[in-house]
Amino acid sequence: MGRIFGRNGMKGLAVTEITCELAMQTGRAVAHILSGKDSRAKFLIAKDTRSSSDALESALCAGICSVGADAELLGEIPASALAWNIREKGADGGIMITASHVNTDYNGIKLFSPKGYRLDDETENEIERLITESPQEIAPVQLKEYGRVIRCENAIECYIERISEIAGADLKGLKIAVDCANGCTSTVAEGLFKSLGAEVVVMGNSPDRTNINTSGSIHIESLMDFVTENKCVCGIAFDGSGERCLAVDENGSLVDGDIIIALCARNMKKHDKLNNNTILATQANNLSLIQFAKANDIEVITAPVGERSMVQKMLECDCSIGGDPSGHIIFPDEMPNADGMLTGIRLLEILKKSGETMSSLSAIIEKFPQVMLNVPIGKKFCEIWKNDRVITNLIEKFEDILGGEGRIIVRETGKEPVIRIRVEGRDFSAINDMAIKIADTIKERTEV
């Protein structure tokens, strides 16, 4: 079996790839590794609105309880609500059943530490070893007492109380649209934004166990029309697990994660809340965000794409905001992981206090054109292509031409190896030619 945990947890086709047997073994391994208390250990389990989530939840419970730990079920709540409840309840860890932004055919499993953060690589690797290489180490043994399944009735109330406490926002006078992607925020987002004073029109809040992510941040086109039709000042869109947040301005134009990070960072700097005068970005962020930071005397640290990598780097550097253009934005001083509703509140608060339109605020950065190409390669060329001087010399040549006005990122990704090429710069024609020449050269140099 290949590696089962990726940069953002375990993900695959529901029940056929992410099987109930695999879920049970995962629950057993998690409880075995993380049960560190003298008293009986407890693990919290939450899920999104997919039809496969119930089956995987039952299997995880079986694994956890079989080693004598308790499983407390929080139901269909955002991933950030799970993370916060882990801290509040003093649990030994947590498991979120979700494939986040992917469609309903897929599902996944994300693991959380007792502090509500994603598990570190070392712990996750040990859990994977027990599942794939040494399952005999966690084989069932006869116990006097096994774990219990407990149903929690107030997890969402605890989370909303926390969000309301840290938000402190007055959104009166704003008419906003909210798209819940038929996911975990469907039962909470409308009420939360109304409690802050906003006039709310909502869509994507009728999950039927098969329609998760048919709208929301992944398919934001529906919200664009919805905002203009309802004459809203802004639209907010989440993904199925409630982690991502993107926005739409009053004209129906996209306000992506780069713009949201820039607006929040400028506001935090103004109010002396930008720790170490620093933001975190990934390779996926547009170069314009880096240029914005430079122009505003803000430092930038970088981390690989993926919540676990981003949070780890932000905690190391005491950074108070970071994220990627897909709307995966983290405020680690306030919540242990990405929280779409918190991000939306922060953005709307800036909009309200500014007295401007969302479209005018979005002009905070000027997006650089991007060209992205994928080049499949044979497995025998994995990593080797990086040492091919013909390829590297060409990339270096183009980087010299772009100077500080552009960027080239070439990286290998995926189980079936693909080279992803992204070129950014002010002149679209020039960067398009560069991307094509790099792609053609890689193809030529990696032919079987």
100 is catalytic: yes
Write out the H or E segment, with its range, that includes residue 443.
Answer: helix 428-445
**DSSP string spanning 97-134?**
E--TTS-TTEEEEEEE-TTSSBPPHHHHHHHHHHHHT-
**Mapping DSSP to helix (H, G, I), strand (E, B) and coil, where does residue 180 land?**
coil
Catalytic residue among 35, 66, 80, 100: 100
Among 212, 189, 203, 183, which Cα is nearest to 76's? Answer: 183
Distance (Å, rounded) from C-alpha 27 to C-alpha 124? 12
Question: By C-alpha distance, which of 184, 179, 334 is closest to 252?
Answer: 179
For tokens 């009728």, the residue is: 206
> Is there a contact between 126 and 145 (Cβ–Cβ < 8 Å)?
no
Compute the distance between CA of residue 178 and CA of residue 194 in angstroms, rounded to an integer. 11
| Rg value, the chain, Cα | 23
Cβ proximity of 247 and 255 under 8 Å? yes
Tokens of 140: 């069932």
How many CB atoms sit inside 10 A of residue 95's CB? 29
Any idea which residues carry the catalytic annotation?
A: 100
